[in-house]
């Protein structure tokens, strides 16, 4: 079995910039710079045969390259307790188009449809027991955060979970069509 997800890599410069925000909030488990990414579709554990079918399905996806904007910071919470700190990804048509194409390709190849709404984000940190005032201060201080980067490909990642940070590996990548091509 292999744990998979489809995502977009961030340029190194942007990853370093986002990882540096970690200096502003203690009490959170920060995602190391090399692990920062934007998830398009979480797949989960699949067997090798299905993984191969999913890879082939992803190879058939045709979508244009685009510029992606990131902006603002926020949290996901459960039962009133924030557990994930993220920077938002603008839900612009090219991103949604790519995500929809990937979704249909994966479902045609045998996955169950994704039931949850697509809430694009880059996870910055997992929050264990954040101090509310420090967290509010962090969110306010970075509310105007903005960044843009070019998306020219997407990636099928495997994820190995162990004791510490997960180990993500690019198993395959898929080029998007260049603008004007
Ligand atoms: P997260 O960043 O919001 O935690 C690799 O684990 C990627 O898949 C992460 O970006 C993670 O989202 C996402 N992910 C992990 N487990 C998931 C799940 N059960 N459902 C949806 N997405 C998940």
Pocket test for ligand 1, best of 2, 3, 15, 39 (most atoms within 8 A of CB): 39
| 150 Cβ below 6 A of ligand 1 | no
Asked if pLDDT for residue 180 goes beyond 80, the answer is no
Tell me what pLDDT residue 98 has: 98
Tell me what pLDDT residue 113 has: 98
Atom of ligand 1 nearest to the CA of 123: 2
The string of DSSP letters for 82-128 reads EEEEEEEE---HHHHHHHHHHHHHHHHTTPPPP-S----EEEEEEES
| 118 Cβ below 6 A of ligand 1 | no
Give residue-wise pLDDT tens across range 42-90: 999 999 999 999 999 999 999 999 999 999 999 999 999 999 999 999 9
| 39 Cβ below 6 A of ligand 1 | yes
For residue 180, how far is its CA from the centre of ligand 1 (angstroms)?
33
Tell me what pLDDT residue 27 has: 79
The residues, ordered by sequence, that sit 6+ positions from 12 with a Cβ below 8 Å of its Cβ are 33
Tell me what pLDDT residue 166 has: 97
Asked if pLDDT for residue 181 goes beyond 70, the answer is no
Tell me what pLDDT residue 149 has: 98
Instruction: Report the DSSP pairing between strands 2-9 and 146-151.
Output: unpaired
Collapsing DSSP to helix, strand or coil, 164 comes out as coil
Query: In order of start, what are the domains of the chain with their CATH numbers?
Result: 2-175 (3.90.1140.10)
Protein residue whose Cα sits closest to atom 4 of ligand 1: 123
Collapsing DSSP to helix, strand or coil, 139 comes out as helix
Give residue-wise pLDDT tens across range 112-170: 999 999 999 999 999 988 889 999 999 999 999 999 999 999 999 999 999 899 999 99
């Amino acid at each position: 079995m292999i744990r998979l997800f489809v995502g977009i890599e961030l340029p190194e410069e942007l990853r370093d910039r986002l990882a540096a925000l970690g200096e502003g909030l203690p009490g959170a488990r920060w995602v190391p710079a090399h692990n920062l990414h934007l998830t398009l579709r979480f797949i989960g554990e699949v067997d090798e045969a299905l993984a191969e079918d999913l890879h082939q399905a992803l190879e058939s996806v045709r979508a244009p390259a685009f510029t992606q904007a990131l902006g603002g910071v926020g949290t996901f919470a459960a039962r009133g307790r924030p557990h994930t700190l993220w920077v938002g990804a603008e839900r612009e048509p090219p991103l949604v188009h790519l995500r929809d194409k990937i979704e249909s390709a994966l479902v045609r190849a045998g996955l169950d449809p994704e039931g949850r709404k697509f809430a694009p984000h880059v996870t910055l940190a997992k929050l264990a027991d954040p101090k509310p005032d420090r967290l509010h201060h962090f969110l306010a201080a970075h509310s105007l955060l903005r960044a843009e980067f070019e998306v020219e490909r997407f990636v099928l990642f495997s994820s190995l979970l162990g004791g510490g940070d997960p180990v993500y590996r690019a198993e395959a990548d898929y080029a998007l069509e260049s603008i004007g091509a």
